[in-house]
C-alpha cells in the first residue's frame, strides 16, 4: 500500500506563498490520481486540487483556482501544491490522498479517495 506524507506547512502572513509536498512510498504516484484536501477546525474536509494520473489533467476548487498550482514530479514520487496569495481562509490542515478509480468523475469527492496522509498545518495570519 502506498504511504503518503505531507510536508511544507507553516505559519505565514496573508499574501505569502507556501509549497506543500505529498511524497509517496511503497508505490509510485504514476499509478494514482492525487488529490489535495483541507480541513479547518469544526469544518468538513473539502477538495482543493487534484492531479490526474492518466493524462495529467489538473482540477481546482473555485476558491483556490488562479492562486494554487498542483504539479507532479514522478521521479521524486511527489505531488506539489504551490499556494500563492494566501488568505486567512486558507488556514487548515492540508491532506493529500489517492484516488483509485481509473476515471475521474468524482475527483472532487472526499469519499472517493481511499488512502490519506496525516496532513500538514497551514496557518495564514492577517
Give the three-state DSSP class for 25: strand
Q: Are 93 and 119 in contact (CB under 8 A)?
A: yes
CA distance 45 to 63: 14
Which of the two residues, 4 and 27, has the higher pLDDT score?
A: 4
CA-closest candidate to residue 94, choices 52, 61, 58, 53:
61
Per residue in 5-43, pLDDT tens? 999 999 999 999 999 999 999 877 777 899 999 999 999
Per residue in 79-95, pLDDT tens? 999 999 999 999 999 99
CA distance 109 to 122: 22
Give the three-state DSSP class for 122: strand
Which of the two residues, 78 and 27, has the higher pLDDT score?
A: 78
Amino acid at each position: 500500500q502506498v504511504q503518503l506524507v505531507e510536508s511544507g506547512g507553516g505559519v505565514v502572513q496573508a499574501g505569502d506563498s507556501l509549497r506543500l509536498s505529498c511524497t509517496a512510498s511503497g508505490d509510485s504516484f504514476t499509478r494514482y490520481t492525487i488529490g489535495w484536501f483541507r480541513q479547518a477546525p469544526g469544518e468538513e474536509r473539502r477538495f482543493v486540487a487534484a492531479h490526474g494520473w492518466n493524462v495529467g489533467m489538473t482540477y481546482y476548487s473555485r476558491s483556490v483556482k488562479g492562486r494554487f498550482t498542483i504539479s507532479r514530479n514522478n521521479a521524486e514520487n511527489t505531488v506539489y501544491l504551490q499556494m500563492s496569495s494566501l488568505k486567512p481562509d486558507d488556514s487548515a490542515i492540508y491532506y493529500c490522498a489517492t484516488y483509485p478509480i481509473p476515471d475521474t468523475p468524482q475527483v472532487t469527492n472526499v469519499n472517493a479517495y481511499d488512502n490519506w496522509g496525516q496532513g500538514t498545518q497551514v496557518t495564514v495570519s492577517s
